[in-house]
């Protein structure tokens, strides 16, 4: 036998990772006291425990304390007690603690990796080489943010006590993503890990003890749904950060509605893996292996939809099948294993059920001819071809090692297929033509796009989704904002509009009657219901009547906003010029608007003139910022640059206040327009004639039809319609507390981003009621990773 024969005859032998230290740690720990509260280890007050088992064998690992609402109360009390001193500490003091955590984790890096693999089932190569090093990177990276906080985030401070709930697929990494920025911002934390994977969080709590984290700053409570619900609903928590399923994310959005809690959600995905005909197919196949079979496909951003150009489909599929046949399924502690077990029997049954249903709906499901281990929750890698866009495997998040394949003919069809999902977390684009890749990336409705790569992450680069993949970002500068609050100039409590209209004294009839209509799609149109709303002057006389907008009118306005492509696709410089022109034209009619303000609100002539001038000035401000509020370029420790692009949210609904009715409306609409959003605005219910007077100014200011639409009527009713409309991407509501809470609760259909005043107005004339704080709400941050080099 020659050397070549011996080479071909070689097989991988077992290469198990030693687990003796992890087993010794397990044996030495009292998991009946696994709640880390106020710096002390405690048993659950109710005495309950839950079991965590090893996915590769089903064997019991430990019985863990199961926290209840009483334990959550204790954890929140500890975090609240620790908050003043921690938030008042200097950035340098907090940075030292974060750095100490990172360094202590480095000293126990292998123990973290082995525990993670034992508890979760992911291959040791992944936990050792990816999860643990990246978790450490987050703590050391955020030590820098802690010290730079005052300089880089002026006017901001930590939001307070933070409740954090993390999933089982990346237990340690998700913990780091949540805790590191919170501590850097000066917040204190109550974190609940997943029941399936509690072990590394317990080891992390021990690290906090050794690293000198002050008591109560980090509290880690093990538990199930009761503990999670208690965190979400606790009045002493100022922010909720959740990573998990979209279904649970919607429950949390509804539960926190009206509470005033800040909320960030990182949810499910159905990410597209797009391969164009000029791609390097061998590289694409390796990227695909990483994209869908990494962590057994139990990844929210898994590239679970393969979209391949028709001309290369057969060749690529053949290569994929060959590569799949060589994937090694087995013990996760074997360094040669590619695919370990799923986390639990329930997850295995779910994946099997979805594959069976996909096949029933017409997909052809192929698996390599390989034996599975005799014990554990293993599933073979699966390739589904002949998948229609409506197939369950193309629409639902399987969260397992299952790849659904579809073909496309041209670039436009690829983009349409990629965006044909309710999710919007991530995508991969494969092409040797960087012009094509960077043409496609901005058109994908995804928060992260990888070019010729996949599953690239770094603490300096934001991660998060659009649509039902949630809102908010983790990592980078934008991730820090999630744990910071700017002091907005709060105004008075907004009272609900009265339902019974007061009698209005009729006009003397000397003027020609003027009908104020709605403004939809660049035209003045009658309300669908042909009802009107009387508007009174400050003296109780009839100032005019406006259309009483309805659900149908909102639908028409949203359709017009969605159909307007010219405004979002215009250059920032072009939008800037149009907004300058709008300000110019409003200035030409300043006296008219001031007189209208005085007539309706009773404001003095001087105050009315000031509000009009401030409105013009605000238009000028956002016109000037339209081409200046830009993204960034990150340089992660890899051969890649990450382009953090600012993109418009989409269709933004605005419910404007009665206070400062002209300035309030313009202060909300102008930043949304400046960033390229299209707007459906509900103006002040009490003073809507100021908005209807704007129609003519808008019409001759070169604003494209549909860029801004105005529907007058009952604010509470129309806010509810906008909240429920799944083609509205963002909603800003400044109304009474009940209307704000309703808007947040009813936004769960598509998990639109809602910003409300929680029943309070703003001092719209203040400098703080303008600028970057508003522009940040008007954009999504998309991180596009572009590798370079050979």
Clarify whether 300 is annotated catalytic.
yes
How far apart CA 790 and CA 771 sit, in angstroms, is 42
From the list 551, 555, 557, the residue with the least C-alpha distance to 520 is 557
Q: Which of 17, 266, 474, 478 is catalytic?
A: 266
Q: Which residue has the tokens 């880690």?
A: 220
DSSP symbols for 488-524: --EEEEPPPPPSSPPP-BPP-S-SPP--B-EEETTEE
Do 231 and 62 form a contact (C-beta atoms < 8 A)?
no
3-state secondary structure of 580: helix
Among candidate residues 546, 599, 557, 597, the one with its CA nearest the CA of residue 712: 546
Q: Please give the Cα distance from 576 to 582 (Å, whole number).
A: 10
Beta-ladder partners of 240: 163, 263
Q: What's the start-to-end Cα distance of the chain, in Å?
A: 37
Question: Do strands 364-366 and 262-266 pair parallel, antiparallel, or not at all (unpaired)?
Answer: unpaired
Name the catalytic one among 187, 208, 300, 301.
300
Question: Three-state DSSP class for 158?
Answer: strand
Active site residue 461: no
- Under DSSP, the state recorded for 185 is H
Give the contacts of 25 (CB within 8 A, at least 6 positions apart).
111, 115, 203
Pair type for strands 640-648 and 779-787: antiparallel
Alpha helix locations (H) across 675-714? 689-692, 694-699
> In b/e form, how buried is each residue of 527-566, taking b as 16+ CB within 10 angstroms?
bbeeebbebbbeeeeebbbbbbbbbebbebbbbbbbebee
DSSP for 112-150 reads: HHHHHHHHH---HHHIIIIIHHHHHHHHHHHHHHHHHHH
Contact between 508 and 182 under an 8 Å Cβ cutoff? The reply is no
Please name the residue that has the structure tokens 């953090």: 644
Number of Cβ atoms within 10 Å of the Cβ of 425: 28
Residues acting as catalytic residues: 266, 300
């Amino acid at each position: 036998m020659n050397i070549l024969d011996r080479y071909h005859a070689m097989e991988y032998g077992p290469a198990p990772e030693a687990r003796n230290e992890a087993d010794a740690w397990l044996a030495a720990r009292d998991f009946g006291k696994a709640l880390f509260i106020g710096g002390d280890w405690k048993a659950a007050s109710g005495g309950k425990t839950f079991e965590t088992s090893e996915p590769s064998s089903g064997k019991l690992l430990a019985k863990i304390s199961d926290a209840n609402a009483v334990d959550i109360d204790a954890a929140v009390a500890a975090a609240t007690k620790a908050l003043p001193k921690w938030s008042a500490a200097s950035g340098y003091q907090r940075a030292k603690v974060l750095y100490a955590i990172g360094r202590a984790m480095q000293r126990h890096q292998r123990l973290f990796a082995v525990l993670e693999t034992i508890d979760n089932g992911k291959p040791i190569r992944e936990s050792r080489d990816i999860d643990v090093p990246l978790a450490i990177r987050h703590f050391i990276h955020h030590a820098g943010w802690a010290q730079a906080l005052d300089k880089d985030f002026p006017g901001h401070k930590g939001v307070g006590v933070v409740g954090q709930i993390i999933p089982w697929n990346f237990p340690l990494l998700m913990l780091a993503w949540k805790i590191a920025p919170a501590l850097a911002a000066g917040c204190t934390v109550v974190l609940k890990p997943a029941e399936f994977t509690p072990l590394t969080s317990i080891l992390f709590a021990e690290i906090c003890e050794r690293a000198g984290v002050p008591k109560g700053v980090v509290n880690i409570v093990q538990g199930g749904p009761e503990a999670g619900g208690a965190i979400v609903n606790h009045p002493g928590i100022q922010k909720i950060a959740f990573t998990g399923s979209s279904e649970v994310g919607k429950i949390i959005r509804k539960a926190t509605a009206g509470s005033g809690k800040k909320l960030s959600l990182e949810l499910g995905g159905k990410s597209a893996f797009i391969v164009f005909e000029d791609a390097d197919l061998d590289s694409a196949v390796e990227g695909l292996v990483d994209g869908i079979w990494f962590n057994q496909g139990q990844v929210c951003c898994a590239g679970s939809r393969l979209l391949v150009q028709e001309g290369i489909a057969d060749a690529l599929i053949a290569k994929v099948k060959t590569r799949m046949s060589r994937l090694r399924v087995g013990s996760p502690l074997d360094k040669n294993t590619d695919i370990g077990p799923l986390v639990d029997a329930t997850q295995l049954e779910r994946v099997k059920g979805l594959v069976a249903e996909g096949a029933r709906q017409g997909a052809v499901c192929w698996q390599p001819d390989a034996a599975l281990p005799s014990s554990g929750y293993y599933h073979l890698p699966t390739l589904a071809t002949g998948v229609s866009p409506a197939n369950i495997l193309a629409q639902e998040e399987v969260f397992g090692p299952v790849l659904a394949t579809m073909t496309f003919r041209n670039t436009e069809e690829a983009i349409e297929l990629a965006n044909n999902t309710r999710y919007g977390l991530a995508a991969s684009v494969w092409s040797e033509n960087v012009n094509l890749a960077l043409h496609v990336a901005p058109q994908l409705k995804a928060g992260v796009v990888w070019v010729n790569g996949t599953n690239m992450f770094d603490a300096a680069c934001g991660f998060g989704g659009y649509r039902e993949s949630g809102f908010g970002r983790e990592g980078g500068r934008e991730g820090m904002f999630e744990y910071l609050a700017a002091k907005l100039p709060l105004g008075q409590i907004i009272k609900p509009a009265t339902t019974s209209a007061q009698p209005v004294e009729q006009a003397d009839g000397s003027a020609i009657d003027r009908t104020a209509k709605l403004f939809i799609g660049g035209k003045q149109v009658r309300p669908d219901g042909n009802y009107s709303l009387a508007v009174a002057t400050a003296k109780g006389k009839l100032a005019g009547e406006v259309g009483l907008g309805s659900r149908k009118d909102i639908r028409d306005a949203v359709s017009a906003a969605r159909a307007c492509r010219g405004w979002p696709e215009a250059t920032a410089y072009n939008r800037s010029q149009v907004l300058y022109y709008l300000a110019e034209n409003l200035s030409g009619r300043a006296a008219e608007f001031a007189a209208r303000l005085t007539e309706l609100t009773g404001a003095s002539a001087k105050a009315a003139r000031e509000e009009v001038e401030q409105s013009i000035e605000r238009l000028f401000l956002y016109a000037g910022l339209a081409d200046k509020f830009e993204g960034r370029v990150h340089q992660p420790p890899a051969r890649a640059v990450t382009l953090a692009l600012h993109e418009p949210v989409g269709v933004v609904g605005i419910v404007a206040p009665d206070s400062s009715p002209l300035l309030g409306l313009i202060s909300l609409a102008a930043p949304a327009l400046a960033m390229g959003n299209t707007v459906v605005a509900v103006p002040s219910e009490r003073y809507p004639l100021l908005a209807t007077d704007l129609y003519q100014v808008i019409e001759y200011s070169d604003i494209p039809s549909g860029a801004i639409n105005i529907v007058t009527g009952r604010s509470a009713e129309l806010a509810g319609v906008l909240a429920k409309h799944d083609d509205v991407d963002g909603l800003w509501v400044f109304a009474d507390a009940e209307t704000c809470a309703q808007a947040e609760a009813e936004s769960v259909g598509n998990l639109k981003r809602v910003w409300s005043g929680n029943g309070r107005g703003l001092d719209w004339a203040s400098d703080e009621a303008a600028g970057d704080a508003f522009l940040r709400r008007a954009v999504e941050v998309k991180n596009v990773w572009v590798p370079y080099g050979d």
